[in-house]
Amino acid sequence: MTFQPPPPGAYEALMQFMYQAPIGLVQTTLDGDIVMINPMSAQLLMPLSPCGNLLNLFDVLSPLAPNLRELAAGAAPPGQVVCDRWRLALPDAQRRPGMPNALNLHLLRLDDTHLMATLSDATLDVQREQQAIAAQLHAATREDRLTAMPNRTALVERIDRELGRQQDEAGHGFAVVLFNADRFERINLMLGKPIGDAVLRLMASRILSVAHALQPGSAWTARLGGDEFAVVLGETSASLLAERTLEALARPYLIGDLEVHLTASAGATTASHSEQSAEELLQDATLAMQDAKMSGGSRYRAFDASMRECAQRRAIVEADLRQALAEGQLFVVYQPIIDLRTQALAGAEALVRWRHPERGIVPPIEFIEVAEATGLIGLLGEWMLNESCRQLVEWQRTLGALAPGYVSVNLSRAQITEPLIVDAVARALAMTGLPPASLQLEVTESLAAQGDGIRSRLVELKSLGLTLALDDFGTGYSSLASLHEMPIDVIKIDRSFVMDAVSSAHHRVLIDAVVMVARSLGMRTVAEGIETAEQQALLSRLECDRGQGYFISRPLAANDAGAWFAARREELELID
Ligand code: C2E
Ligand code: MG
Ligand code: MG
């Protein structure tokens, strides 16, 4: 191909072309001195050169590309690219509205003496890239990493949209159902976090598949964090979804060779009016879920307004109880326990009471549960232990042989599951100087029947030298046949049996059986809640070892209890 000289007028045409080109073209010397520049280049470079001086390209660009001059000097053969599509962004201070704030630069060694630069406006490209990054970030902040489900933020947005729809479309109803595994921390603790994560992923996929099978395309799932999941769906399907999902979640989870078992609880709420906020709806569903858990877990509850009142009451009790502990409003009452054969004093059960500044004396049933739910039971229980042990030591000192042989202190579930309980009991004994054999701890039947962890905790406690009693026997799940597996010394037969014993042969047979099995295992029996002489005589005939109840004595404040103990032997001598 031979070079064709430009036809007449072509030079002007070329100049015109350069003049109007929508891209910046600059020709410079090897050192950057501008030889030719078209208007687009001037327009793009002007914001970089506030004094309007466009003499040297490298000088103008130096704030954005300080090493351009060296790079260009190093580019040897003509035709070599010095830099290819560099993105040069203007510092914020130099940005002006309507002016480019980012440039694309391409620099080429043209021949032995010249460089050729092309410049274009990259403002839109930068904007598009930033939007893409923002969209990715937005998606990432709305996705749960572990399960790839939408997260809590996304859930709140989704509920907000549903609430908006409810405002626009009459009759649009929806429900939020929350799922939470029962005692999931056990899995992380015992099997490790990787197994816990694997279980969570499987839970997510089960929830997803139940939801989609029930409402294809419209049910929407999310993970709120931890072991908590949510489904948003049409309001009429909430209970069906909850039941099916709970069933699905209770199936064993196969992870490698491991088979993990768990149950979950569910709470649901339906949006009743559009003035509710997403957070309020989530709170209601959470209250329903907590109610399901407090009723024993592995069940579903729909929200009703009384749950909110209950929660508010609990919060008030919690705050008051903290104050009670700090200000010494708690005190202990002691209920005498007698030997049913000799009628002599055997021991005393310590029961907590609260002298509330406004409500008067509050019974434990109104605050033990709150103390358990809020973790205050640890402090309360430790205080009870110390105070009861201290009191018995004092009675031993002042009453001598007339003092009760032991004090029996109730432990609640939350205390037993806490490993530090063993230290706390040992400390109470050491600090007060009470001989361990003078301390009895009462645990409820349902608790003692549970897993190996609890059993070994009870064995540890027993090894301190104290005795263990199984409280409220007959109300829980354990059977006579399983008694021999429990590390206990005393069985307390629940008041409900004692109450009916006089009128019901069935109850008499049951008590008889408990007494016989206990005796065969070397355990003692205590009848709780003896309210009449007839009941006491009957229990004595059934050879129950000990008894306590209003007929013998109501629980008494320490001073009154001391006086009762002191008078007991004299009373018995008078009876004789
Ligand atoms: P519990 O351990 O079974 O205690 C016996 C309860 O029966 C006591 O109620 C006692 O006052 C009551 N009672 C005793 N004799 C009779 C009777 O003849 N008739 C009737 N109707 N009731 C009788 P209280 O003191 O209200 O305690 C209730 C429950 O609260 C206790 O049941 C125990 O589970 C729990 N509790 C009490 N104090 C503590 C404590 O310090 N720590 C823990 N964790 N729980 C406690
Ligand atoms: Mg008790
Ligand atoms: Mg009891």
Does the Cβ of 543 fall within 6 Å of ligand 1? no
Residue whose CA is closest, atom 11 of ligand 1?
Answer: 555
Atom of ligand 1 nearest to the CA of 531: 18
- Transcribe 480-491 into DSSP letters: GGGGGGS--SEE
Does the Cβ of 215 fall within 6 Å of ligand 1? no
The pLDDT value recorded for residue 56 is: 93
Nearest ligand to the CA atom of 354: 1
- Transcribe 110-137 into DSSP letters: -SSSEEEEEEEE-HHHHHHHHHHHHHHH
Confidence of residue 340 (pLDDT cuts 50, 70, 90): very high
The pLDDT value recorded for residue 448 is: 59
The pLDDT value recorded for residue 450 is: 62
Confidence of residue 566 (pLDDT cuts 50, 70, 90): very high
Ligand 1 center–CA 350 separation, angstroms: 9
Which residues is 547 bridged to in the sheet?
338, 527
How far apart are alpha carbons 465 and 488 in whole angstroms?
A: 12
Does the Cβ of 24 fall within 6 Å of ligand 1? no
Nearest ligand to the CA atom of 529: 1
Does the Cβ of 449 fall within 6 Å of ligand 1? no
The pLDDT value recorded for residue 451 is: 63
Lowest model confidence (mean pLDDT) among 2-16, 28-42, 339-353? 2-16
Q: Which residue has the higher pLDDT, 186 or 357?
A: 357
Residue whose CA is closest, atom 42 of ligand 1?
Answer: 410
Q: Which residue has the higher pLDDT, 99 or 62?
A: 62
The pLDDT value recorded for residue 297 is: 86
Does the Cβ of 526 fall within 6 Å of ligand 1? no
Does the Cβ of 410 fall within 6 Å of ligand 1? yes
Residue 421 is encoded by which pair of tokens? 């309980």
Work out the average pLDDT over 297-306. Answer: 93
Q: Which residue has the higher pLDDT, 574 or 200?
A: 200
Q: Which residues make Cβ contacts (< 8 Å) with residue 433, sequence separation at least 6? A: 393
The pLDDT value recorded for residue 72 is: 87
Taking only the tens place, the pLDDT of each residue in 65-114 is 899 999 888 877 788 898 898 998 887 877 777 778 899 999 999 898 99
Q: What is the DSSP letter of 574?
A: H
Does the Cβ of 474 fall within 6 Å of ligand 1? no
With a pLDDT cut of 70, the percent of the chain lying above it is 96
Extract the runs of DSSP E, i.e. beta strands, from 387-523: 407-410, 439-444, 467-473, 490-493
Residue 401, phi then psi, degrees to nearest 5: -70, -15
Nearest ligand to the CA atom of 441: 2
Ligand 2 center–CA 471 separation, angstroms: 5
Work out the average pLDDT over 181-196. Answer: 88
Ligand 3 center–CA 472 separation, angstroms: 4
Ligand 2 center–CA 372 separation, angstroms: 16
* pLDDT winner (highest mean) among 12-26, 246-260, 311-325: 246-260
Domains of the chain, earliest start first: 10-126 (3.30.450.20), 141-303 (3.30.70.270), 314-575 (3.20.20.450)
Strands 467-473 and 490-493, how do they pair?
A: parallel
Q: Which residue has the higher pLDDT, 391 or 100?
A: 391
The pLDDT value recorded for residue 433 is: 97
Taking only the tens place, the pLDDT of each residue in 132-143 is 999 988 888 999
pLDDT at 400 over 70: yes
The pLDDT value recorded for residue 569 is: 84
Taking only the tens place, the pLDDT of each residue in 158-176 is 999 999 988 888 778 899 9
Does the Cβ of 368 fall within 6 Å of ligand 1? yes
Does the Cβ of 17 fall within 6 Å of ligand 1? no
Work out the average pLDDT over 452-478. Answer: 87
Does the Cβ of 555 fall within 6 Å of ligand 1? yes
pLDDT at 3 over 60: no
pLDDT at 253 over 70: yes
pLDDT at 446 over 70: no
Residue whose CA is closest, atom 27 of ligand 1?
Answer: 364
How far apart are alpha carbons 343 and 42 in whole angstroms?
A: 112
Does the Cβ of 335 fall within 6 Å of ligand 1? yes
pLDDT at 402 over 60: yes
Residue whose CA is closest, atom 21 of ligand 1?
Answer: 529
Whole-number average pLDDT of the chain: 91
Lowest model confidence (mean pLDDT) among 94-98, 127-131, 387-391, 512-516? 94-98
Which residues is 326 bridged to in the sheet?
none
What is the arrangement of strands in the sheet containing 34-37, beginning at the earlier edge strand? 34-37, 24-29, 114-121, 102-109, 81-89
Atom of ligand 1 nearest to the CA of 411: 44
Does the Cβ of 340 fall within 6 Å of ligand 1? no
The pLDDT value recorded for residue 390 is: 98
Confidence of residue 576 (pLDDT cuts 50, 70, 90): low
How far apart are alpha carbons 264 and 293 in whole angstroms?
A: 9
Confidence of residue 1 (pLDDT cuts 50, 70, 90): very low
With a pLDDT cut of 90, the percent of the chain lying above it is 66
Work out the average pLDDT over 256-263. Answer: 92
pLDDT at 31 over 70: yes
Nearest ligand to the CA atom of 440: 2
Alpha helices in 175-216 (DSSP H): 185-191, 193-214
The pLDDT value recorded for residue 294 is: 81
Lowest model confidence (mean pLDDT) among 222-231, 266-275, 351-360? 266-275
Does the Cβ of 267 fall within 6 Å of ligand 1? no
Work out the average pLDDT over 337-343. Answer: 97
Cβ pair 461, 436 in contact under 8 A: no
Does the Cβ of 529 fall within 6 Å of ligand 1? yes
Atom of ligand 1 nearest to the CA of 384: 41
Lowest model confidence (mean pLDDT) among 17-21, 380-384, 398-402? 17-21
Work out the average pLDDT over 473-477. Answer: 75
